C-alpha cells in the first residue's frame, strides 16, 4: 500500500481508539456495577484485584493502546511540519504507556507511573500537533493547542481548589480532552 493509501485509510484509527476506550470502560463498569462508583473510584479499579473479569478492562486498554500507535503512524504520515512529527512520536509513546496500564494494572508497583505518563504523553502530543498545525498555517491548530495547554491547567486548578470528586472524574475529564483534540485533528487532516 502506498503512503497516500495509508493516509486515506488510517484516519479512522483515531475514532476507533475513542470508541474502543469508552466501550472498554462501559463494559467493565457494567460488569462491576455492584461496587464501582464513578464518584468514588478510579477507572483503573476496573482492572484491579477487586474487579470481576479485570481482563476485560486490561485487555481493552492494551487494544486501545495498539490503536493509538496506529493513529500515531497516521499523524506521522500527514505531518508536514517537524512539530507535527514530534506530536506523532509522543502519541506513539502514549499508546505504549496505555498498553502498560493494561499490563501493570491497578495494584502493581508501576501502575501510577504508567497511568500518569500516558496522560502526560498524550498532552505533549496534542501541544506539538497543535503547534505544528499553527506553524503550517492551519487555524484549527489554535483550538488543539488550547486544549493541550488549558486542560492540564484546569485539571490542576480543580485538583488544588475544590478537588475532583473521584479519580475517575478527573480521568474522564482528561479522556474527553484527548478525544476532542483527536476529533479536531482527524477532521482537519482528512480534508487536506
Domain that holds residue 21: 3-189
Burial 33-69 (b: 16+ CB within 10 A, else e): eeebeeeebbbbbbbbeebeebebbbebbbbbbbbbb
Inter-CA distances, 107 with 104, 177, 186, Å: 8, 26, 35
Q: How many folded domains does the chain comprise?
A: 1
CA distance 57 to 26: 9
- Contact between 59 and 48 under an 8 Å Cβ cutoff? The reply is no
Q: What is the pTM of this model?
A: 0.94
**pLDDT tens for the chain, residues 1 to 192:** 566 666 778 999 999 999 999 999 999 999 999 999 999 999 999 999 999 999 999 999 999 999 999 999 999 999 999 999 999 999 999 999 999 999 999 999 999 999 999 999 999 999 999 999 999 999 999 999 999 999 999 999 999 999 999 999 999 999 999 999 999 999 999 988
Cell digits of residue 78: 500527514
- Residue 136's Cβ-count burial label (10 Å; 0-12, 13-18, 19+) is middle
Amino acid at each position: 500500500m502506498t503512503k497516500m493509501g495509508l493516509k486515506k485509510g488510517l484516519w479512522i484509527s483515531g475514532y476507533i481508539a475513542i470508541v474502543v476506550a469508552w466501550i472498554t470502560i462501559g463494559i467493565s463498569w457494567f460488569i462491576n456495577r455492584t461496587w464501582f462508583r464513578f464518584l468514588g473510584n478510579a477507572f483503573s479499579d476496573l482492572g484491579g484485584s477487586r474487579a470481576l473479569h479485570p481482563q476485560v478492562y486490561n485487555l481493552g486498554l492494551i487494544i486501545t493502546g495498539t490503536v493509538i500507535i496506529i493513529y500515531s503512524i497516521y499523524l506521522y504520515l500527514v505531518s508536514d511540519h517537524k512539530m507535527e512529527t514530534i506530536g506523532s512520536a509522543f502519541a506513539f509513546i502514549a499508546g505504549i504507556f496505555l498498553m502498560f496500564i493494561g499490563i501493570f494494572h491497578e495494584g502493581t508497583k508501576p501502575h501510577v507511573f504508567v497511568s500518569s505518563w500516558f496522560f502526560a504523553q498524550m498532552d505533549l502530543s496534542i501541544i506539538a500537533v497543535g503547534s505544528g498545525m499553527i506553524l503550517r498555517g492551519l487555524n484549527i491548530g489554535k483550538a488543539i493547542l488550547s486544549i493541550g495547554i488549558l486542560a492540564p491547567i484546569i485539571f490542576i486548578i480543580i485538583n488544588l481548589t475544590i478537588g475532583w470528586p473521584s479519580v475517575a472524574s478527573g480521568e474522564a475529564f482528561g479522556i474527553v480532552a484527548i478525544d476532542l483534540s483527536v476529533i479536531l485533528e482527524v477532521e482537519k487532516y482528512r480534508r487536506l
